[in-house]
Amino acid sequence: MALPRALFLASPDDFILELERDTAADSWRRDNPGGDVVAFEETPSAARLVQELASPSLFASARLVVVNDASQLLTAGRRREAEDLAGGLASLPLADVTLVLCAVAPSAPSGALADAVGARGEVRFLAVPEPPKPWEEGRVSQPQRRMLAELVARTAPGLAGNDEVIDALCEVYGFRPRELVQAARRLVLAENASADEVRAQVGAGECQLRDLEDALQQRDARRFARFAGALDAGAVLAGWRGEAIAPDGYGRVMASTIGRLVRQALAARGHAVRSGFAGELDPKRCAARDWYPRTFKRKILPRFAKDVEELPDSPLAGMTPWQLHRAFRLGSAYGDGELVDALARLADARVERARGPAVLAAISAVVLGLIGRDAA
């Protein structure tokens, strides 16, 4: 499909913008094998760009003029210049020249310049999908995953349809298209496309305390095993604010985290019973799609939070609605006896005093003992 005489590309993501720009330029070159390409890395003045568009080439019958960064023309400070360029576009014949403007922008371009380009060709906004909601599992939303899979299919066709590898890429890189695509290309070059190779490329990486909480909440022994295995392989443990924790503090931090989570789960069970929601303490109910916004936040939270407020010494005091919901879900996964037993085992293990490999051994005994035979 031939390019229009004028094309304005915009996207919030610079890599997606670059990819679309290069695709457009390649398409133009196929249609114009003897054509000349003139590229501006930054925004030229309106007068300079109009002059370039109006000047025929002495050596080529067709020319492509590309402005790699036209973002400044969308700012209020360059409005007059954008209007001047718009006027020039309206008057130029563009008989043997094609213009491509590219801009990193949060929304579709508007104003006189966008109108002028649209009148001579097309304004194309490359939107990116919304990130996952806080209550959704996974690092990327389903629309984000679909876009990333499409990018992989375009840039590393050998991986198209390899769901295991694409899932691993999304798990490791999240919605970072440039890094994810670079990793996909390395897999193709190495001729070793597997989920294990994706993880091996980035080394041991990073573990978060949130991973430990998720493993407990979901009674998922495999998830905890991945967490512990990564730490054992040298991954960095990150705290709740993303800060790196020194290895000699692992025992203290993880013991404190598990103890706090278990006490909050016990408290959540008590508050749920007192506020009339004992029946909602069901892990399948709590794991249902949109349970947080539709059920917990609308129906449970008002009475549940009120019961928490009436007990100032509650382990849940001062927590946000999102944090209260996490405690409620954790409490739904276990019985009172299991949680009390876990606190006793944690006290006996003295994890906070352990060092080196003994930390993971002690933590594993406590966590796997709690997850128990009902583990996923």
Angle between helices 209-217 and 357-371 (to 10 degrees): 30
What local confidence, expressed as pLDDT, does residue 1 receive?
60
Q: In 209-222, which positions are buried (b, 16+ CB within 10 angstroms) versus exposed (e)?
A: bebbbbbbbbbbbe
Q: Are residues 182 and 217 in the same domain?
A: no
| Residue 130 located in a structural domain | no
Q: Are residues 243 and 196 in the same domain?
A: no
Tell me if 123 sits within 8 A of 8, measured CB to CB.
yes
| Residue 137 located in a structural domain | no
Tell me if 105 sits within 8 A of 12, measured CB to CB.
yes
Identify the domain containing residue 30 by its residue range. Answer: 6-125
Domain count, the chain: 3
| Residue 226 located in a structural domain | yes
Q: Are residues 221 and 157 in the same domain?
A: no
How many residues in the chain?
376
Q: Are residues 353 and 251 in the same domain?
A: yes
Sign of CA dihedral 195, 200, 206, 209: positive
Sign of CA dihedral 315, 316, 322, 327: positive
| Residue 13 located in a structural domain | yes
Q: Are residues 23 and 83 in the same domain?
A: yes
| Residue 343 located in a structural domain | yes
Q: Which of 171, 202, 233 is where one domain is finished?
A: 202
| Residue 1 located in a structural domain | no
Q: Are strands 122-125 and 97-104 parallel, antiparallel or unpaired?
A: unpaired
What local confidence, expressed as pLDDT, does residue 134 receive?
66
Averaged pLDDT, groups of 10, the chain, 376 residues long: 87 94 94 91 88 83 92 86 91 89 93 93 95 74 94 93 90 88 89 81 75 91 87 82 83 92 96 94 88 91 95 92 94 94 92 83 92 59
Q: Are residues 340 and 297 in the same domain?
A: yes
Give Cα 239 to chain centroid, integer Å: 19
What local confidence, expressed as pLDDT, does residue 230 receive?
82
End-to-end CA, the chain: 51
What local confidence, expressed as pLDDT, does residue 64 receive?
94
Q: Are residues 223 and 368 in the same domain?
A: yes
What local confidence, expressed as pLDDT, does residue 376 receive?
36
| Residue 98 located in a structural domain | yes
The whole-angstrom separation of Cα 324 and Cα 327 is 5
**Residue 124, SS3 per DSSP:** strand
